[in-house]
Amino acid sequence: MAVNTTAYQQIVTELNQQQVTLVAVSKTKPPEDIEALYALGQRDFGENYVQELVDKAAVLPKDIRWHFIGHLQSNKVKYIAPFVHLIHGVDSLKLLQEINKQAAKHNKIINCLLQVHIAQEETKFGFSEDELLQLDSAILSELKNVQVIGLMGMASFTEDMSKVRHEFKHLKSIFNTLNNHHFTLNTLSMGMSGDYTIAIEEGSTMVRIGSLLFGARNYTL
Ligand SMILES: *Cc1c(COP(=O)(O)O)cnc(C)c1O
């Protein structure tokens, strides 16, 4: 088993001091790896693929808080709505409306983060700052079964850490701006294995860490 429990303990100690929440990103890793961190007290786990999340949730302890951090298609919301704890990557009003609809069926409120496009790469999903500012508060407040509690972003995939820092700073400033408008946000999900220290310095409250804990992912399997 490749789970790095030493790294886990160090990261948890570091994050606790800063009051930052750790989401352990377990995508592509087997349930046994999740159990290894669960045994050490970890309860927040993040997954990117709906089917994989559903399969793992079925066989793992019920008190795990499952974070969906991937790109979510509207037609798949129904599979995770019964149990998901937080959906990080909400990138359209249409998706938010679908989450609201599915949450209503289960008579629950699903917490969501809006994904913001902060990286230069074209491929990253998310709202722009302008799109967020233009979101109609009246429409949002009609969605009784979703609660937008924060923002999520991914920095560019680059060695240039000053660029990464600049992008995180930008996301934090958008977070502050929205809080001065009609939002009440408390969660800023930014930072992964390679950049979480910078993200925390720039105001992250939640980091999503995979490979530092579980080892490199092998997508060819
Ligand atoms: C895979 C993934 C992570 C974790 O990445 P690592 O570099 O392995 O820490 C974090 N956030 C998102 C959205 C991911 O897809």
Mean pLDDT in runs of 10 for the chain (221 residues)? 92 97 97 98 98 98 98 97 98 97 98 94 82 89 96 95 97 96 94 98 98 85 47
Could you tell me the sign of the dihedral formed by the alpha carbons of 43, 48, 53, 54, in that order?
A: positive
CA-proximal residue: ligand 1, atom 7 (nearest): 193
Q: Which among 34, 73, 25 has a CA at the least distance from the CA of 51?
A: 73
Determine the Cα–Cα distance for residues 204 and 154; give it in Å rounded to an integer.
Answer: 12
CA-proximal residue: ligand 1, atom 13 (nearest): 69
C-beta of 11 in contact with ligand 1 (< 6 A): no
pLDDT given for residue 221 in this prediction: 47
CA-proximal residue: ligand 1, atom 10 (nearest): 208
CA dist list (Å): 109 to 8, 63, 147: 31, 17, 7
Ligand 1 atom at shortest distance from the alpha carbon of 209: 9
C-beta of 187 in contact with ligand 1 (< 6 A): no
C-beta of 209 in contact with ligand 1 (< 6 A): yes
Tokens representing 24 are 């352990």
Q: Give the 3-state secondary structure of 87-123.
A: EEEECCHHHHHHHHHHHHHCCCCEEEEEEECCCCCCC
pLDDT given for residue 181 in this prediction: 87
Determine the Cα–Cα distance for residues 175 and 191; give it in Å rounded to an integer.
Answer: 15
Axis-axis angle for helices 5-18, 31-38 (nearest 10): 50
Query: Using the 8-state DSSP alphabet, how is residue 126 labeled?
Result: -
pTM exceeding the 0.75 threshold for the entire prediction? yes
Determine the distance separating the centroid of ligand 1 and the alpha carbon of 192, expressed in angstroms. Answer: 6
